[in-house]
Structures are given as structure tokens and as C-alpha cells.
A and B are shown apart, each in its own frame.
Chain A
Amino acid sequence: MIGKKLAILVSFILLPLAAAGQDLDVSEVIFGHVGDSYEWHITDIGGKSIAIHLPIIVRASDGWHCFNSRHLEEGEYQGLHIAGKGQPHEGKLVESDGSRPFDISITKNVLSLMIGSLLLIVLVLLTARWYKRHDPERETPHGLAALMEPLVMMVHNMARESIGEEDYRRYSPYLLTVFMFILLNNFLGIIPFFPGGANLTGNIACTLVLALFTFFTVNLTGTRHYYKEMVNPDVPGPLKPLMAVIEVFSALIKPLSLTIRLFANMLAGHIQILCMVCIIFIVARYGGVLLGGMSVISVVFGIFLDCLEMLISFIQAYIFTMLSSIYIGLARAKG
């Protein structure tokens, strides 16, 4: 009796899915979700899409353009259009002749970056205010400060261990900012609805900038010994040029590995979760038992992957920060 009721209930829930699953392009769905876009698509209600249209800011060959991306839905606007499928710069804004203008539009990722950064600043400054307003020798932190303190001290102690007692205080704020920034944006990426859901830390531009910040921090504040080891390493004569080449390359590859590691991990996590959700829609056309069974499986796996993704969010933020601190520590080496 209960089984029958449940079957009816499930079929009611899944009926619209069966309709939606007919013409589903999985790769488009997945890459649409993990990629960047000029609008923030929130949901569809009754075939009508609800989205936030973001501002376009480009410098085309005929000067600056600034307008709402809503205008692009009908096609070309002010000599600009979004490149279609199969064309070069697919999904990006291009001029009439197909060339790409200098584009600093507020895209989905940029908006997510702004929201995340604002949130981070507010959270950290509120925590800092708690410590300013309370006597830390008399009171234990509670609320936000209690949440932030272990994270902050974890990174702070990590900086001390890898950079050394002498000047870790100079680098600890940078490492803390990087850690909190990545962690917060990773978590925002997992949240499936509006303020979250953008794949910022799974975007190579974002991770590249973070890695470059680390690269410049390492290489602009290195000690004399660090540079000497790089260009004139302490090896027998004939090996010197070879070692110098290897050292310079390793210095350049370090930020690259940081970039790819964070980018690939976060992107892969997003794709995994999206695949789990898509399974429901793919099997929807087969209906009935298969749909019910697979839905249960994909929900269970989706929950598992979400938990895994939370763990990975933390681990990746930690690894990025730890490697940055180790690189800084190596560059602070003394003779």
C-alpha cells in the first residue's frame, strides 16, 4: 500500500523531468555551468528563464561600449554579438568581424568574485573588530571570532613553521588572505543557488592571478642567497649552466603548478556533481523504475560528492597556502 503511494508520488515528481529530458545536451549543461557567462542564470519557471543580466564593458575598435547584456539576447547590439557554437571565441563577446575586443564586462565570475570578496572583507573585519573591542586576555572568543580563530591560527602557525620565526609576520597576512579567499570562494562555488554556484576558483584566470601573486611575493622578496642559488648554484663548473636553467624553470613552473592544481581540482569537482545531477535527466526518457532507481543512486552519490567537495575545498585552499608559504620560506633562505 505504502509502496504504491510512494510510486505515485515519485512518478509525479519525475514526470516533468521526463519531459525535460527529451532534448538534453549534457555537455552543454555542464560546460554552461562551469564556464563564464554574461548573465547569471538562476532558474527556469514555466519555460521562462529567470536570470540576472550583467553589465557589458568592452573596448571595441570603435571605442568603449557599456550596456546591459539583456540587449544581446536579440543578437547584435552596438556592433557586438556573442560568438555562436563552433565559432572561435565561442560564448564570448565578439565584434562583427569575429575579432575579440578588450572585454572587462562584469561576468558571472566577476560578480561572484565581488560578492565573495565583499563577504570576506566583512567577515574578517568583523572578526578583527571583535578582537579590538574585547580584551583577548580576559575573554574567549565566541560567534564569528570563535569560528575564524582556528582557521587564522592554523595558517599563521603554518607561516611560522615554513618561513621561520624571523620574518613570517610580513607574509602571514598575505597567506591568510589567500587561504580565506580560496576557501570562501570554493564554498560559494558548491552552493547551488544564486549568491553561490559560480565556478570562480575553477576558472584558470582566477587561479593564475593567485599563483602570480605568490610568484611575485616569492621572487621579489627573495634573499641574496636565493638568487645566487638560482643563477650560480653551488655545483661543479660544467653543471652550472644546466642547473641554472633547471632552477629558473622550476621557479617559473611553481606558479603554473599552483594554477593548474587548484583550477583542475575545483573544475573537476563541479563537473562530477553536475554529472550526478544530469544522470537523473538522462535516464528520465526511459521513465519508471530505471528513473526512480537511478534518481536515488544519483542523489546518494550527489550527497557524497558534495561532502567530498567540501573536504576538497578545504584541502585545496590549504595546499595552495602551504605551498605558497613553503616557496616563500625557500626564498627567505640564508646562506
Chain B
Amino acid sequence: MNLITPDSGLLFWMVLIFGLVLFILAKWGFPAITSAIEKRNTHIAESLRMAAEAESRMARLGAEQAKLIEQTKTEQGKMLKEAARTRDEILAKAREDAEAQTARMIAQAKAEIDAEREGMMRDVRRQVATLSVEVAEKVLRKTLSSDSEQVALIDRLVDESASADIKKEVN
């Protein structure tokens, strides 16, 4: 029966000592430990959350970067294309201008040549006319020694110029 009868002495000491232990540990022991561990746990949780956030931000940044690169590339292509077009345009325009200039110059040259030829022709005609008058003078001087011949010639000349007038009118 000894075993199941609580002994007063042990009860007394147990209350005293356990009470003391409880007081000491509840005041200076466990709260310090648990609060420190909880502090660390929240710190770890916080760190993990931040790491996850940073990772997602990095992923987002990467995607953004890739997009930016792509955009730049397309822009570059566009610019290159535009540059090529501008170059072609400039070249074409230059060619056109050059052609126009050339044509104008050719036309001018032609006109000048024509004008010169005309002048020359006029000159030649005048000289030929002068020459033929001179030649005719000489020939006439020699042949028109008699009066009959002079009258014959006048008649012929009149006829000729008359026919030439008629021809001109017909033409």
C-alpha cells in the first residue's frame, strides 16, 4: 500500500521544488528560447518569401529583356530596310535627274548644232549665190556680146522665173 499512498514529505518537497523550477524556467528559461527560435523561424520564412519574389522578378526581368532585344532587332531591321529604300530612292532620283539633265543638254546641243548648221547653210547659200552671180556675170559678159543673144536670154530668164513662180505656187 506504500506505493499508492502519496507521502507527505515528498508532496511538500515536490510542490516547493517543482514550483521553484517552474518559476525559474518560465521566467528566464523557455520564453527566451522560444522567442529566439520563433524569431529565426519568421526570419527564415521571410527570407524564403523574398527569395521567391526575387526569383520571379528575375524571371520577369529576363522576359522583359528578351522582349526588348526582339523589339530592338525588329526596329533595327525596319531601320535597315528604310535606309535601303531611301538609298534606292536617292539613287533613282539622282539617275532620273542625271537623265533629265543629259536630255536637256543633248537637246540644247542639238539646238545649237541646228542653229549653227542653219547659219552655215545660210552662209554657204549666200556665198554660192554670190559665186553664181559672179559666174553668171562672167558668162553673160562673154556671151552677151550681141543684141540678139541678149534679148533671147532675157526671154528665157523671164520664162524660167515665171515657171519657178508657178512651181512655187503649185507646191
Contact = CB atoms under 8 A, between A and B. Distances in A.
Given A125-B28, A176-B30, A209 B9 contact: no
Given A117-B20, A203-B10, 7 more contacts: A107-B7, A120-B21, A128-B33, A173-B26, A174-B22, A204-B3, A204-B4
Interface of A: 31, 34-36, 90-92, 102-107, 109-110, 113-114, 117, 120-121, 124-125, 127-128, 131-132, 136-137, 148-149, 152-153, 156, 169, 172-174, 176-177, 180-181, 203-206, 208-210, 213, 267
A114 B18 contact: no
A95 to B, nearest CB: 15
Contacts of A136: 36-37, 39-40, 43
Most chain B CB within 10 A, of A34, A113, A206, A209, is at A209
A152 B33 contact: yes
Contacts of A34: 3
Interface of B: 2-15, 17-18, 20-22, 24-26, 28-34, 36-37, 39-40, 43
Contacts of A131: 32-33, 36-37
Given A136-B39, A181-B21, A125 B29 contact: yes
23 contacts: A31-B3, A35-B2, A103-B7, A104-B9, A109-B10, A110-B9, A124-B25, A128-B33, A131-B32, A131-B33, A131-B36, A132-B36, A136-B39, A137-B43, A152-B30, A173-B22, A173-B25, A173-B29, A173-B31, A176-B30, A181-B18, A209-B18, A210-B14
A148 B32 CA distance: 13
Contacts of A132: 32, 36
A103 B21 contact: no
**Lowest 8 A-B CB distances belong to which pairs?**
A173-B26, A131-B36, A205-B6, A205-B10, A124-B29, A209-B14, A136-B40, A128-B32
Nearest to A56: B9
Contact of B25 (A31, A121, A204): A121
A140 B8 CA distance: 45
Contacts of A128: 28-30, 32-33
A176 B92 CA distance: 94
A131 to B, nearest CB: 4
Contacts of A267: 3
A255 B29 CA distance: 26
B139 to A, nearest CB: 139
Contact of B2 (A91, A105, A172): A91
Given A91-B2, A172-B30, A173-B30, A121 B9 contact: no
A180 B26 CA distance: 12
Contact of B10 (A31, A36, A174, A210): A36
